[in-house]
Structure 1
Amino acid sequence: MVHVIELADVARQYDAAGVPALGPVDLAVETGEALAVTGPSGSGKSTLLNLIAGLDRPSSGSVTVAGERIDRLSERALARFRRDRIGMIFQFFNLLDDLTVTDNVLLPAQLVGRAGRQATARAAELLETLGIAKHARAYPGRLSGGERQRVAVARALINRPDLLLADEPTGALDSASGAEVRELLTELHRSGQTVLLVTHDTALAEACAGRRLHLVDGRVAADRRVVAPAVAR
Structure 2
Amino acid sequence: MTQVIELSGTARRYDGAGPPALGPLDLTVAQGEALAVTGPSGSGKSTLLNLVAGLDRPTEGTVTVAGTRIDGLGERALARFRRDRIGMVFQFFNLLDDLTVTDNIQLPAQLTGTARRTAATRAGELMELLGIERHARAYPGRLSGGERQRVAVARALVNRPALLLADEPTGALDSASGEDVRALLVDLHRSGQTVVLVTHDLALAEACATRTIHLVDGQLAADTRAEALR
| TM-score, reference length from structure 2 | 0.99
SS at 1:47's partner residue? helix
Greater shift, 106-115 or 140-149, is seen at: 106-115
Query: How many angstroms apart in 1 are the aligned matches of 2:107 and 2:53?
Result: 18
**Aligned equivalents of 2:2, 2:199: Cα separation in 1:** 25
SS in 1 for 2:200: coil
Alignment map for 1:194-209 (pairs within 5 Å): 194-209=194-209
User: 1:163-174 to 2 correspondence within 5 Å?
Assistant: 163-174=163-174
Partner of 2:93: 93
**2:190, 2:204 → 1: CA distance?**
14
User: In structure 2, what residue type is equivalent to 1:51?
Assistant: L
SS in 1 for 2:146: helix
Q: Which amino acid aligns with 2:145?
A: G
Aligned to 1:28: 28
d(CA) in 1 for partners of 2:115, 2:48: 32
Deviation string 1:58-92 (CA, Å, 9 cap, x unpaired) is 00100000000000100000000000000000000
Q: Is the CA contact 1:106–1:115 (under 8 Å) kept in the aligned structure 2?
A: no
The aligned residue for residue 83 of structure 1 is 83
Please give the secondary structure, in 2, of the residue aligned with 1:24. strand
Return the offset for 1:138. Answer: 0.4
**CA shift for structure 1 position 115:** 3.2
* 1:115 corresponding residue in structure 2: 115
1:106 and 2:81 aligned: no
CA shift for structure 1 position 228: 1.5
Structure 1 segment 210-229 matched on structure 2, within 5 A: 210-229=210-229
Shift of 1:227: 1.3
Kept after mapping to 2: 8 A contact 1:32/1:193: yes
SS at match of 1:93: coil
8 Å CA contact 1:7–1:28 kept in 2: the answer is yes
RMSD: 0.9
Q: Is the 8 Å Cα contact of residues 208 and 228 (structure 1) preserved in structure 2?
A: no
How many residues are treated as equivalent by the alignment? Answer: 230
Alignment of 1:1-233 (within 5 A): 1-229=1-229
Give secondary structure in 1 for the equivalent of 2:152. Answer: helix
Which runs of 5 or more structure 1 residues have no equivalent in the other structure? none
Q: Decide which moves more: 3-12 or 102-111.
A: 102-111
- How far apart are 1:229 and its partner, in Å? 3.1
For residue 214 of structure 1, report the CA deviation from its aligned partner. Answer: 0.2
TM-score (norm 1): 0.97
Q: 2: distance between equivalents of 1:182 and 1:201?
A: 11
| Alpha-carbon contact 1:49-1:165 (below 8 Å) kept | yes
Note if contact 1:85-1:163 (Cα within 8 Å) is conserved in structure 2. yes
Q: Describe the SS at the equivalent of 1:134.
A: helix
Question: 1:116 offset after TM fit, Å?
Answer: 2.5
Q: Deviations over 1:136-191 (max 9, x none)?
A: 00000000000000000000000000000000000000000000000000000000
